[in-house]
Chain A
């Protein structure tokens, strides 16, 4: 033990003169360190520049051109955006569809996943089994599970059979303009609540139990405890889940593509599907790029808005 200590001391002493003596060596070492840092960064950075940053800039540039693949692109400035916002009635519907999905799906997702997380944080047997079951859909390919939901949503499918047991005449889910979007939202909830349930579960574990003990000694009811302890202390997790779920739900694609194909009519076409259709079915690349840029701006505004609003309701101190 002592010997070891001595050895380290010697090492430190041996090292010191080198460091102190010449500033030239330290400078060289510093440069070497910086070089090393860039070496660590290089593989990721290179891929990032080529496959993320360059396409991002290119998308904005492409959106300023009229480009249908067959003819050479012509620069039209903000022409695509003017057409989107001014002359494309379908785009207005698609914008509303996307907002319908987002504002239908996100609040329900947060409420259900929070409810499940709190429920499972109580005294429940086989907790991890329940967690795995609720989380499992998250791990499955959207296409595969959308196909089975498409089958279940059939007019004479199993969901309508269950409804007929309680004397409800089920609608033609994905074939009706009224019910197609709720059907997409319902399937997406089944698909997605498990993820936020885990996020909230992790957050709940971090809340020290003495808060609740103290509160119950003071005679606070469970409801009081929920609003005054659980929600404030969980607010960082709720904020994180809200930001991430909003960002991803604006980009809904797989479910819509398989369940409804955007129909009937354009009643469930969302911004990503419209981007895909314009780009890879109609080959209007400039127009598609402008649709996707609008989506990006929308996500950015909503996310920045949340970061501003968070000061009012998110508590980071425990």
Chain B
């Protein structure tokens, strides 16, 4: 009898504790002791790890603001003796950085639109429509997830060459826009949307296209955000493929441009780091914009394996 009372009391305190701290129903939280020292040490250690994670970015910006003669000083100067904001402008004039950024934006935005549009349509067909060979085709799609990019680049290179697309945007966009990943991810998500919603729309005489674009897609924002994010970043960061199909500086993307820069002006580390700093900014902006979708999207789309 007594133990039962104790149990309920414990349950209550556990529930209370959860409520007061307002954390998600996580669990390890409720079992750990609630001392004062523990949390402080834990937060301090986490902060140190976070600082270590951020250090390369600090060093990038720090070097970008130094005189080149100061870059290899030992002991290193953490605060530059005179801050050279002009390095960013110098870097800009050394190599066509404007071109790099413009090219990368065209490729990343264009590529992401192609990925979202074509894979949401294909995913809808796989998730909802009945047609002969559906499951076999889908499994075929899935197995190509294992195919490394390196296997494809040699034939893709000759294909692009024969099409006369070397040094073009379509060469940068199209070969990477049709991977099975997007179709797979969206299909999983669409499968989780109740069919009843569509039945109602169908009775109202909606076409399949309208159902997809006006009903399904607005309900799939987290999945689309995650897919859009990874596509954009994939295009933005890709290096191997531009290295193969682009050979002029004015068509280069940022990663390729940086590598060309390293080849030509290998000693100007401060300018190079100014370029690298510019290259990481979009990732930061997008991350802040979509952060609330990130965890939700990963768990909803089954990326977490559930």
Using a CB–CB cutoff of 8 Å, the interface residues on chain A facing chain B are: 8, 11-12, 15, 33-34, 36-38, 40-41, 43-45, 47-48, 50-56, 58-59, 62, 116, 118-125, 128, 130-145, 147-149, 151-152, 154, 156-158, 161, 190, 198-209, 211-213, 215-217, 222, 225, 230, 236-241, 247, 250-251, 253-254, 257-258, 271-272, 275-276, 279-280, 285, 288-289, 292-293, 295-296, 299-300, 303
Supplied contacts A48-B144, A120-B46, 15 more A-B pairs, CB within 8 Å: A47-B114, A52-B179, A59-B151, A122-B29, A136-B54, A141-B237, A141-B283, A148-B56, A199-B304, A205-B26, A217-B7, A222-B31, A279-B154, A289-B151, A300-B146
Least distance between A59 CB and chain B CB atoms (Å):
5
Task: State in angstroms the CA–CA spacing of A156 and B71 once bound together.
Answer: 10
Least distance between A47 CB and chain B CB atoms (Å):
4
User: Contacts of A145 on B, CB cut-off 8 Å?
Assistant: 56, 60, 276, 280
User: Contacts of A217 on B, CB cut-off 8 Å?
Assistant: 7, 10
Number of A-B contacts (CB under 8 A): 341
User: Contacts of A138 on B, CB cut-off 8 Å?
Assistant: 233
Query: CB distance B272 to A139 under 8 Å?
Result: no
* Interface pairs (25), CB distance under 8 Å: A12-B203, A15-B203, A41-B121, A41-B122, A44-B121, A51-B178, A116-B49, A121-B27, A128-B291, A132-B287, A139-B287, A144-B60, A157-B76, A202-B298, A203-B305, A205-B295, A208-B27, A213-B14, A222-B31, A222-B32, A237-B304, A272-B240, A280-B157, A292-B150, A299-B148
Known: A40-B129, A142-B255. A240 touches B303 (CB 8 A): yes
For residue A200, which residue of chain B has the nearest CB?
Answer: B304
User: Contacts of B150 on A, CB cut-off 8 Å?
Assistant: 251, 253, 271-272, 275-276, 292, 295
For residue A15, which residue of chain B has the nearest CB?
Answer: B203
Task: State in angstroms the CA–CA spacing of A157 and B42 once bound together.
Answer: 30
Query: CB distance B29 to A158 under 8 Å?
Result: no
For residue B298, which residue of chain A has the nearest CB?
Answer: A202
Checking A33, A119, A225, A240 against B130 with a beta-carbon cut-off of 8 angstroms, the contacting residue is A33
Least distance between A146 CB and chain B CB atoms (Å):
9
Digitize B140-164: 1 where CB-to-A-CB distance is under 8 Å, 0 elsewhere: 0100111111111111111100000
Query: CB distance A48 to B180 under 8 Å?
Result: yes
Task: State in angstroms the CA–CA spacing of A288 and B158 once bound together.
Answer: 14
User: Contacts of A225 on B, CB cut-off 8 Å?
Assistant: 28, 31
Known: A44-B119, A140-B279, A258-B259. A161 touches B76 (CB 8 A): yes
For residue A215, which residue of chain B has the nearest CB?
Answer: B31
Query: CB distance B31 to A40 under 8 Å?
Result: no
Query: CB distance A158 to B272 under 8 Å?
Result: no
Checking B56, B74, B129 against A149 with a beta-carbon cut-off of 8 angstroms, the contacting residue is B56
Checking A135, A140, A147, A236 against B272 with a beta-carbon cut-off of 8 angstroms, the contacting residue is A147
Checking A47, A121, A143, A238 against B29 with a beta-carbon cut-off of 8 angstroms, the contacting residue is A121
Query: CB distance A206 to B299 under 8 Å?
Result: yes
Known: A47-B174, A134-B50, A199-B303. A205 touches B24 (CB 8 A): yes
User: Contacts of B57 on A, CB cut-off 8 Å?
Assistant: 136, 148
Q: Is B59 an interface residue (CB 8 A)?
A: yes
Instruction: For chain B, residues 43 to 97, give those with C-beta under 8 angstroms from any C-beta of chain A.
Output: 43, 46, 49-50, 53-54, 56-57, 59-60, 63, 71-72, 74-76
Query: CB distance A147 to B124 under 8 Å?
Result: no
Query: CB distance A204 to B305 under 8 Å?
Result: no
Instruction: For chain B, residues 158 to 210, give those with C-beta under 8 angstroms from any C-beta of chain A.
Output: 158-159, 174-175, 177-180, 183, 203, 208
For residue A60, which residue of chain B has the nearest CB?
Answer: B151
Interface size of B by CB at 8 A reads: 110
Known: A199-B304, A225-B31. A292 touches B74 (CB 8 A): no
Known: A55-B156, A280-B244. A212 touches B31 (CB 8 A): yes
Q: Is B251 an interface residue (CB 8 A)?
A: no
Q: Is B11 an interface residue (CB 8 A)?
A: yes
- 3 tightest Cβ-Cβ pairs between the two chains A and B: A139-B283, A240-B305, A47-B178
Digitize B10-49: 1 where CB-to-A-CB distance is under 8 Å, 0 elsewhere: 1100100010010111111111100000010011001001
Interface centre among A40, A55, A143, A295 (most CB of B within 10 A): A143
Instruction: For chain B, residues 275 to 306, give those with C-beta under 8 angstroms from any C-beta of chain A.
Output: 275-276, 279-280, 283-284, 286-288, 291, 294-295, 298-299, 303-306
Task: State in angstroms the CA–CA spacing of A279 and B155 once bound together.
Answer: 11
Query: CB distance A56 to B208 under 8 Å?
Result: no
User: Contacts of A257 on B, CB cut-off 8 Å?
Assistant: 239, 259
Interface centre among B26, B27, B287 (most CB of A within 10 A): B27
Checking A51, A272, A296 against B175 with a beta-carbon cut-off of 8 angstroms, the contacting residue is A51
Known: A41-B121, A144-B276, A296-B146. A33 touches B129 (CB 8 A): yes
Interface centre among A40, A51, A222 (most CB of B within 10 A): A40
Task: State in angstroms the CA–CA spacing of A318 and B174 once bound together.
Answer: 41
Task: State in angstroms the CA–CA spacing of A142 and B24 once bound together.
Answer: 34
User: Contacts of B239 on A, CB cut-off 8 Å?
Assistant: 141-143, 253-254, 257
Query: CB distance A58 to B155 under 8 Å?
Result: yes
Digitize B246-258: 1 where CB-to-A-CB distance is under 8 Å, 0 elsewhere: 0000000011101
User: Contacts of A38 on B, CB cut-off 8 Å?
Assistant: 125, 131
Query: CB distance A59 to B154 under 8 Å?
Result: yes
User: Contacts of B254 on A, CB cut-off 8 Å?
Assistant: 141, 143-144
Query: CB distance B286 to A139 under 8 Å?
Result: yes
For residue A204, which residue of chain B has the nearest CB?
Answer: B26
Least distance between B159 CB and chain A CB atoms (Å):
7
